[in-house]
């Protein structure tokens, strides 16, 4: 038996209009594949003392690191795309801006704290109390980038997607709630 649109609650119809959140399992898979590729790379090659100051990864390891980084940016784009479509919410950051600011030297250090703060502003507005901690997400992303570029690309990528899992979980919980009685969202703090 088919159900009519009148039988479906407005909350579920509203949530059905939102684009889906990013598929984080792909990021975890890329992170674990990068770790395995690093282990294979380490076991197959003995370091040459002349070249060991700046090791160049094999093509398969480089491709995994590159695709993992690109997928991270796709996820950031996706989060902001979803936020642009939330009814009753004016999101201050466009998806293209959210990705583009990751490429500006030195500003990107600030940016990894700023965009999670905007996500937390929405989540906390929806809950009516501070639930999401943007500082924690920013620190995780910053630590993941440092780890990824200086020590271990695979573990750094996994840490990036752990931060994304926290953001996704908070957003899913916020989307499940009805909007607060006030229709207008609080103004963005720049």
Dump pLDDT digits (tens) for 87-113. 888 888 899 999 999 899 989 889 989
- Residue in 163, 69, 82 with CA at minimum distance from that of residue 116: 163
Higher-confidence residue of 107 and 15: namely: 107
Is the confidence at residue 77, as pLDDT, over 70?
yes
Q: Name the E strands within 79-163.
A: none
User: Global pTM?
Assistant: 0.78
The rounded mean pLDDT for the chain is 80
pLDDT band (50, 70, 90) for residue 3:
very low
Write down the pLDDT at residue 42. 74
Percent of residues, the chain, with pLDDT higher than 90: 22
Write down the pLDDT at residue 12. 42
pLDDT band (50, 70, 90) for residue 48:
low
For residue 20, the number of C-alpha atoms closer than 13 Å in the C-beta half-sphere is 3
Is the confidence at residue 9, as pLDDT, over 80?
no
**CA distances, 180 to each of 11, 14, 46, 175 (Å):** 12, 14, 60, 11
């Amino acid at each position: 038996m088919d159900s009519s649109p009148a039988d479906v609650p407005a909350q579920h119809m509203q949530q059905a209009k939102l684009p889906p959140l990013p598929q984080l399992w792909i990021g975890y898979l890329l992170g674990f594949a990068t770790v395995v590729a690093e282990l294979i790379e380490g076991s197959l090659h003995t370091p040459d003392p002349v070249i060991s100051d700046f090791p160049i990864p094999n093509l398969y390891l480089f491709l995994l690191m590159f695709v993992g980084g690109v997928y991270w940016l796709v996820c950031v784009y996706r989060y902001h795309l979803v936020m642009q479509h939330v009814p009753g919410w004016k999101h201050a950051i466009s998806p293209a801006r959210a990705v583009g600011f990751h490429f500006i030297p030195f500003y990107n250090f600030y940016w990894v704290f700023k965009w999670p703060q905007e996500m937390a502003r929405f989540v906390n507005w929806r809950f009516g109390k501070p639930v999401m901690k943007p500082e924690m997400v920013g620190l995780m992303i910053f630590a993941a980038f440092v780890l990824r570029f200086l020590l271990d690309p695979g573990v750094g990528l996994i840490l990036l997607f752990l931060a994304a899992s926290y953001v996704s979980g908070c957003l899913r919980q916020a989307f499940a709630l009805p909007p607060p009685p006030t229709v207008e969202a609080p103004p963005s703090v720049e």
